[in-house]
Structure 1
Amino acid sequence: MVVGGAGYIGSHMVKMLLSEGYEVVIVDDLSGGHRESIGEARLLVGDIGDSTFIEHAIGMEKPDAIMHFASFIQVGESVADPAKYYHNNVTATQVLLDGMRRHGVDKFIFSSTAAIFGEPEYVPIDEIHPKSPINPYGRSKWMVEQMLEDFDSAYGLKSIALRYFNAAGADPEGLIGECHEPETHLIPLILQVASGRRPCITVYGNDYDTPDGTCIRDYIHVADLCSAHLLALRQLFSGAGSARYNLGNGSGFSVSKVIDAARRVTGHAIPVQVAERRAGDPPSLVADASHARDRLDWSPRYADLDTIIRHAWQWECRRVGLVLD
């Protein structure tokens, strides 16, 4: 069962699971997901915070494992409306976990985030880095991770939490991709400039203590994220215990380098305007993903920045009807 399976990462996960021969059912309320992203996959429309709905869904489907992608993810919105984030990301997740317990489902893959670490004390960030989230979004994810530890100790519910850094890219076949409204992620925003949907890209601060003055982030291809989820699922099916893994390429790219790469890939001029720094934006966020590489035997297939952008550009062109050269 893939909760949030009609969203950006969830829909790519569903596509991969189906290609690997798994039987999949999606649970999604379609508040941020898109029915057209899941093809012919089975969909149950409903809210995981609705105990009656989730009780029926789990009881009817009897899944062997559940993957959870149905979180709200906008940092700024979480600051403006924390109640929305604690209700959906924490309270609704507990409803889901309680439904699992009652039906004996004891394998859970959780989509977590690098936001649980807050301002980094050192880079690259490993799993034992202190957890000091600085916004309700990060705190909501860290609360769930702690809840999962308690559910393992008390009920034997095994979970693997995968902490993403910056998910990016799109299906290499070009069939699905990123489609948030409003869009807040850097790469799709840049590509919307290249396709003519935006006049320019805003760079928030160019005076950071980095080689070119712009923030450095670790971008990981959505297909590589999904392959890590698949390996984590197999690990739980093999009888492994609960675990936590950071997922990233282990090398960062500055905002300026991402823009340069997008110009190179698309062949379009991408105008830039510089604005003031945003509060809470650290200069560098890069993952130490060696734990996932060693324990999951995971290795990113699409680590090259140009490839990540090329796949995202292929999707953007499909969305707006541009013909690729």
Structure 2
Amino acid sequence: MKRETILKIVKASGVSAGELILVHFWGEDSEKEIANSFLAAVAELGATPVLLQQARSINRDIFASAKESCFDERYFELISKFDAVLDVFACQPIVLGYSLEDEQMDLYRRYMAQLFGKLMECKRFAQIRIPTEANAAESGLDPEDYITRMNEAYDVDYEALGAACRQEAEKYAGAEKAVVHTGEDCELNLDLTGRKWLADAGDGDLPCGEIYIAPVEDRTNGTVFFEEFWLEDEKYSNVTLRVENGEVTGSSDEAVAKLFAGMPRENRIVCELGLGMNPNVKSLCGYTVLDEKMAGTFHIAVGANVMFGGANQATDHTDFVGKGKVEVK
């Protein structure tokens, strides 16, 4: 990733002069040039950068021998002092990739849970996926295709994107209903009463470019059609979902219906409506991180939404991206 692009990302995340910024880097020493570029970009904007590296090889050695007395409250209180966190990953975060004794693995899991609890107390938290072969493997895309698509999505005019997202969110502020028209005659009705549209233009999940809202959980009804539909790493074609009182209750595809039927009820609840806004995402590829940001698309999600104004507690959050006409009233 170019340094110029990294500077654009850091600026879009909201970093400003005088702030204390944690660059939380998931990667090995061989990839540390990426972290260094983020540190330099933070400093160029007049803020103070601090690096916390999560290298799998280092964490393996630390947590193979760590004791219960390690990482007490003093450590985690330090984490909560930062104004913002840039969570930068060159590989899949949290996953250790090594076997530890059960007791030591439990210690690692508790460390991560406490760490993220404190990270989320900071004023801002941005997650930034780096276009690497390791992340390509997690995406399911060909590495070259993944890296090209990600770099294009990141190399966007963030000021223009931010303005467009905010304008669209403001336009729909106070709307009480959305209707998603798809396929030949599918119509999904969502109640937005009392809920707020949010904009993601660089200070949340990157690549960025969407506005989204948590609909009232038990008031979504109708059907919605997807020409291409991905669920649990499988691609399906021409899928219609049926939603009753907020819950996905069936599908035109027997295999998809069976997968939904096997989910806990809270993971079948429609929890989000989003609209893609990033003009640099040119086509759908099956990788939701990119697809949901594509300008001209919509996405609905099932599962958890308490983190953005909803009331559905769930273990998962799964997005489905489609094309159609969305009316917000």
Q: TM over 0.5: same fold?
A: no
TM-score (norm 1): 0.29
Structure with higher RCO (Cα < 8 A, 6+ apart): 1
Q: Which has the higher strand share?
A: 2
TM-score (norm 2): 0.29
Query: Larger radius of gyration, structure 1 or 2?
Result: 2
Q: Which has the higher helix share?
A: 1
